[in-house]
Amino acid sequence: MTTPERMSHEDVLRVKLEVLKREHRDLDQAIHALEDTRRGDPFTIKRLKRQKLLLKDRIVAIENELTPDIIA
How many Å separate Cα 54 from the centre of its chain?
8
Q: What is the pLDDT of residue 3?
A: 53
Type of residue numbered 47: R
pLDDT tens digits for 11-30? 999 999 999 999 999 999 99
Q: What is the pLDDT of residue 5?
A: 80
Type of residue numbered 66: L
pLDDT tens digits for 37-64? 877 789 999 999 999 999 999 999 999 9
Q: What is the dihedral of CA 47, 53, 58, 59, to 10 degrees?
A: 130
Residue ranges of the domains in the chain?
A: 9-66
Task: Give the separation between CA 14 and CA 31, rounded to whole angstroms.
Answer: 26
Type of residue numbered 6: R
Backbone angles phi, psi at 67, to 5 degrees: -130, 85
